Amino acid sequence: MDMRKAIIAQTSFSLRLSSHLLSFSNNLAFSPLSLHSLLGLLAAGSSGPTHDQLLSFLGSPVASELAALHSQISNVILADGSAAGGPCLCYAGGVWVDASRNLKNSFREVAGSVYKAEAHSVPFRSMPEECRNQINNWVEQMTTGKIKELLPSR
């Protein structure tokens, strides 16, 4: 994999996304890296036209290139350097799927090892409020209390 090309593609994605979002508002904060990571994770779990469209949008010829880039990002850039006097960065990713749907073990492996995302199967259909609370508690814990209610009650 050519890391230089992967970084150029990620930068191009970030600039396209910024340009598009700024056309709606000039008072905006977002993380292009987080969105790129999310879409890369979706590409890892998709197939067919959806897979091809995600790769095209992200500027990557193959999902393995995205995985290699995000593996480097999570292991180097997002590493907690506070023990050595560096910054403490926190990155949390989660995949929440209804328990009636099975996630492939290969996807769980890529989600965890490459994207550092936890994969959870929960009973959304039969216990939606409990699932909402579980997700909110997880997000609150992962953000050290900065985000308390990602999913508000109805």
Per-residue pLDDT averaged across 45-64, rounded?
Answer: 91
Does the pLDDT of residue 134 top 90, yes or no? yes
User: Which sequence spans correspond to the domains of the chain?
Assistant: 3-23+32-122
- Name residue 122's beta-bridge partners: 98
The one-letter code for the residue type at 114 is V
Q: What are 71-77's contacts with CB under 8 Å, separation 24+?
A: 71/113, 71/114, 72/3, 73/33, 73/37, 74/114, 74/115, 74/116
Residue 79: the pLDDT is 67
Q: Identify the CATH assignment for 3-23+32-122 out of 3.30.497.10, 2.40.420.20, 3.30.930.10, 3.30.2320.50.
A: 3.30.497.10
Does the pLDDT of residue 116 top 90, yes or no? no
For residues 116 and 89, the model is more confident at: 116
Please tell me the distance from the alpha carbon of residue 147 to that of residue 131, in angstroms, as a whole number.
17
Of 48-52, 118-122, 144-148, which range is least confident? 144-148
